[in-house]
Amino acid sequence: KTVSLSKLRKTNNPHWFRPRGDFFSDVDIDIDTDESLKAFLDDAQPIIDRFLPVGKTATMGASELAKAQKACIKALMKYTQDAMVYPRSKDSNPDEEATRYHELVDGFGRFSLGELVKIERGVCRHQCILEHLLLQKAGIDSRLASGAANTGSNNFRGFHIWCEVTLANGERFLSD
C-alpha cells in the first residue's frame, strides 16, 4: 500500500504542524496569513543554511550530520529564546507586552502565534512550538514532550513542554 508523505508524517509524529491552517494548544499556525510568524521562520534560514547547507548534508555520514544537527538545534534554540521571553505575571507590574500576552491567553480561545512573535512574549509551549516549526523547516525530526516541572525539593510547580529530537545517528536530544 502506498502512503502519502503527509499521512506518514502525521502517523509517526502527531505534532507535525502543517504550515497552513494548523493549531496547537492556544495558537493558530498559518504561515500564509501570519506575516510575523513567516518573517520569524524566514529570518532563521541563514542559521539552518550555516549548519545544514543544501546539498552537503546528503554527503555527510551519520555522526557528522548528527553533530551538525545538534549545532543547528542549539543555534535555533538561542534564536527562539532571543525572540520570545516569558512575560511578567499579571500581579508583578507587567510591561505593555506582558499585558497584551495575558489578554490573549486569558481569552480562552486560539490566537495567531505571530501575535506572540510580535510582542516577543510567550511561555514554554509557545517557545516550543516556534522551535518545533524551525526544526521542521530544517528537516530535523522532533516531537513535543511534556511533563511535570518540579522544584529542587520535588514539589510540583506546574507542567512543562520541550522538544525531543532524534539525530541522524539515532541519538536522542532534548532541546529546552
Residue 45 confidence (pLDDT): 98
| Identity at 64, one-letter amino acid code | E
Model-level pTM? 0.88
| Identity at 94, one-letter amino acid code | P
pLDDT tens digits, residue range 144-176? 988 888 888 988 888 889 999 999 999 998 888
Mean pLDDT score of the chain:
90
- Residue 30: CB atoms within 10 Å: 17
Q: HEC string of 33-62?
A: CCHHHHHHHHHCHHHHHHHCCCCCHHHCCH
Burial readout 100-127 (b: 16 or more C-beta within 10 A, e: otherwise): bbbebbeeeeeebbbbbbbbebbbbbbb
Q: Looking at the predicted structure, is the pLDDT value of residue 128 above 80? A: yes
